[in-house]
Structure 1
Amino acid sequence: MERPQAAAIFGAGIADQVLSGVDRARWERLVDADGLHTSTESLLATPQLAQVQVLLTGWGGPRLRPELLARMPALQLVLYAAGSVRHLATDEFWDREIALVSAADANNEPVADYVHAAIVMALKGEHHAQAHLRRERSYPSDQGHLGIYGQIVGLVGFGSIARKVAARLRALETTLLVFDPYLTAADAEDHGVERVETLVDLFERSQVVSVHAPWISGVNDGMIGRSELEALPHGAAFLNTARGALVDEAALADVLRARPDLFANLDVTRPEPPEPDSPLWDLPNVRLTGHIAGSIGTERTRLGRLVIDELERWLAGQELRHRVTAEEARTRA
């Protein structure tokens, strides 16, 4: 296949973060591109826009609205060097049956590593031990419920990140509970996890609960509320790296205030960061980490590498490994 006409658009500075020098050189060798755009206006001014077959984009790129798609009748492949495509693709885009590749799998790896590390530290009681040592100048004695092996961990949602977390936790002989209405019994068995029917059941049985469900506005806002949080056993930890809107944060603050034995590690909140008067800032059993679980710094070049690898497969007529369908886009985080 001869070099296709292509265009690239990212937010200012993003391309330098996701495309290493090697991968930018690969892009320029594989396609006939007219440089790098950082605004929709610049992209629309491209003389060859009607001939563009491949669009490379990511954070800061435009939503694929009908008016943009109408200017790109030859478009066959969109390479999205970021995660969720829910805000990117429109109904009109899916109607065109354009191939869409997402780098979500690469973006999910550091999240899974972060969650695995956070779960290990929570099972060791790191937060409570640190607080006790600073307050009492002595080691805590209430450690009978602690330890990283053979514990019960609950996962809310069982998409790509949760499955990567589950794979990492198997080495710790962890019993994994999952609440996910889309998880079949056969799939649960294949992954060695136990499905639970209610969130309360998952919370009351788990020493650590980690949230991985997609947030669907107007559908599952505040799905984790007071009854679930109050069900946590003594000394349990709650970890959220998904979306803050999934949690009733007022109820969370109330429960944490009443239960100093609990610990919340919140990488995401709503809004981000929390409002200046949010009680989450001052509660001693809350850790706010500022949305660092996803790809940051040097981790981001893996996103560019994934989509350029997919471009090479597409040009060679091979099956895409990271293509996203319309159905998958609706249920992914």
Structure 2
Amino acid sequence: MAESSAVAAAAAAGGTAAPTMLEELLEITAQSLVRTEVAEHYEVIRELGRGKYGHVMLVTHRQRGTPMALKLLPKASTKLHTFLYEYCVALSLATHPAIIGMFGIAIESSQYYGFLYEPALHKDLISIIKPRDGIPEPAAKQCAKQLVSALEFIHSRGLVYRDIKPENVLLFDPECRRIKLTDFGLTRPKGTKLKLVAGVIPYTAPELSNTADAQGVPIDSSLDAWAFGVLLFCLLTGYFPWEQSLPDDPFFEDFMQWQETGLEEDLPRHWKRLTAEAALMLRSLLALDPAKRCPVSGVLRYVDCPWRLEDGNSQETAVKP
């Protein structure tokens, strides 16, 4: 099929070729979009998740009995190009073992656009993060290694993921031995100019938080490194490191001071549960200057080191994820 060839080409394309290949895949997919009502071919079992822009249902194919996850986006609030773009990006990246697998089926019903992918029956990472505790350190390291691999793969394709958060990491077992990244609606080619259009959240890198240029900031993989650092902090502590990456946030202000001095006595209180190695790892990922931020692969240098102190359970309350 022409679509399969385009997927293979888009997956292999890197750098400046990626946007062109994705646009070609979009055109092909738009022409081959299956128009059907969900109930005609699929039996809905239950809802797997719901977000701001759509919801995901567990379905089975009525003839084959195959379980699938069906993401549905309301046509009333979703542009066709927006839907096709997310689907095609996901399709072009689905060959990686730590990225959600796709069935290559995109549909249009009377009310929805939708596409089918492999179901994750153990929910997502947010479902196992315990407040004031996080997740077990071995599981955090399992997550870290797989996410490094997935993000490096995305970056090698000339793309920036831009949506690292626990809700987008799907679990295929409770110990995180097999996880997969999902939801590529915000993924953009490297160099795309972006400006902050919504409120600052913990994962927002400071160069976007303080966007003054009306033309926006050209994005690169350092945005993902920042959000990855925030995610790892949540896994190890059960907290966000701050509410907003802005100087008027007291937690972020403390962090900025520590970033400037690097002194142990300036380490924010709610970071004291971390080992020196883990603090150094996160300090590198969360460098305030994106040019000095280490790539996501820098985490691999620390996976054989302890990340969490055993006596760190009585730290001050921080910001819950």
RCO greater where, 1 or 2, for CA within 8 Å and sep 6 or more?
A: 1
Who wins on radius of gyration, i.e. which is larger?
1
The answer to whether the superposition gives a TM-score over 0.5 is no
TM-score normalised by the chain length of structure 2: 0.22
TM-score normalised by the chain length of structure 1: 0.22
